[in-house]
Amino acid sequence: MARKTTTPPAGSQLAAMPARAAKAAKAAPLLAKAAKPAKPATPKTAATSAKAAKAGAKPALPASPAGRLKGEAAAGVVPARRRAVANAAAAAHGRTVAPWSDAEIVEAFTRFELRDPEPKGELDYVDPFTLLVAVVLSAQATDVGVNKATKGLFAAAPTPAAMVALGEEGIAGFIRTLGLFRGKAKNVAELSRLLLERHGGEVPVDRAALEALPGVGRKTANVVLNIAFGVPTIAVDTHLFRVANRTGLAPGATPLEVELGLEARIPDRFKRHAHHWLILHGRYICKARLPDCPICPINDLCRWPDKPI
Ligand code: SF4
């Protein structure tokens, strides 16, 4: 993506500087804004600062990690990934963004709907049980990787009873390409046993019952309830968390805060597909490192202060 650059006016102080020094000079006011008011300089610190400036040292950054990230991000002196994280964190704490109006939210989801009326997730499954297993396996793994692993697993064990018969070691044999595969194999074997013991081998349409299964947290329960049973839940994964914070749609410091914020703001008619639209938007357009703002369908609505104009 082409990044916007600015050329200092000819004859200005910045124009006379080498590029790196000009960048540092431009950054200084932003950094000063991000930092807490400094104590008056003592003769010793003033002398030290002057020495550092003479040597071409970079300006000091705020001491706290959060302040440092914000300062660095504002100055554009950090890699894009850290800048994205800083912005998400900053937005989560209400740094810059004004809340979206109801009309803007309707407009954004209307556009998502027009572009993709029936959004689908990218995990392969054939029924609620295989969806549940696939989502449990997807923690810290890509959907592509999970699909490769579950192809053989679901052929060998398509039901809870068959999964129990396959056993932890047998399950591990199919999913060893996934991170944390031993723990995941143990969870899949045990959740299959519990489905038989507590729910007659069926996946319950109940959040508490789902979350009582090993390896199943709120996000997984929300995905299963939404996709398998059509419940208008919003599962907040890393993509959705980033999009909600970066755009200002539903800033929150935790996935639960974001989920509750989205539930409160998104009109009911959009809720069924909202999490898919936002997850796919975050995965393919509003990416963590280099969001494709120029082609973004909600660019004009987005509150991200660092988006290209
Ligand atoms: S303009 Fe679009 S791609 Fe860019 S940050 Fe905003 S939502 Fe993400």
Categorize the per-residue pLDDT at 57 as very low, low, confident or very high, splitting at 50, 70 and 90: very low
Categorize the per-residue pLDDT at 90 as very low, low, confident or very high, splitting at 50, 70 and 90: low
Percent of the chain with pLDDT over 90: 65
Q: What's the Rg (C-alpha) of the chain? A: 25
Specify the pLDDT at position 22: 37
Q: Report the b/e string of 256-292 with b at 16+ CB within 10 A.
A: ebbbebbeeebeeebbebbbbbbbbbbbebbbbeebe
In this prediction, residues 173-177 reach a mean pLDDT of 97
Residue 41: left (phi > 0), alpha (psi -120 to 50), or beta? beta
42 vs 97, residue with greater confidence: 97
Specify the pLDDT at position 97: 67
Site to substitute for ligand 1 among 112, 246, 279, 280, most atoms within 8 A of C-beta: 246
Q: CA–CA separation, 184 vs 102, rounded Å?
A: 41
C-alpha of residue 244 to centroid of ligand 1, in Å: 10
Instruction: For ligand 1, say whether the CB of 291 is within 6 Å of any of its atoms.
Output: yes
In this prediction, residues 118-122 reach a mean pLDDT of 92
What pTM does this model have? 0.69
Residue 145's CB is within 10 A of a number of other CB atoms, namely: 16
Specify the pLDDT at position 99: 87
Q: Which CATH class is domain 128-229?
A: mainly alpha
Q: CA–CA separation, 276 vs 121, rounded Å?
A: 7
Alpha carbon distance, N-terminus to C-terminus of the chain: 13
Instruction: For ligand 1, say whether the CB of 282 is within 6 Å of any of its atoms.
Output: no
**pLDDT at 66 > cutoff 60:** no
Query: Which ligand 1 atom is nearest residue 282's CA?
Result: 8
Q: Any idea where the domains of the chain sit in the sequence?
A: 65-117+233-309, 128-229
CATH architecture for residues 65-117+233-309: Orthogonal Bundle (1.10)
Site to substitute for ligand 1 among 296, 301, 309, most atoms within 8 A of C-beta: 296
The answer to whether 65-117+233-309 and 128-229 have equal CATH topology is no
Question: What three-state secondary structure class fits 146?
Answer: helix
Measured torsion, CA atoms of residues 111, 113, 117, 121, in degrees rounded to the nearest 10: 100
Q: CA–CA separation, 165 vs 282, rounded Å?
A: 39
Specify the pLDDT at position 203: 98
Query: Which ligand 1 atom is nearest residue 293's CA?
Result: 4
Quick one: tokens of 235? Answer: 């599962």
CA distances from 85 to 66, 71, 243, 262, 285 (A): 10, 13, 11, 20, 16
**pLDDT at 143 > cutoff 60:** yes
Mean pLDDT score of the chain, rounded to an integer? 78
pLDDT tens string 212-264: 999 999 999 999 999 999 999 999 999 999 999 999 999 999 999 999 999 99
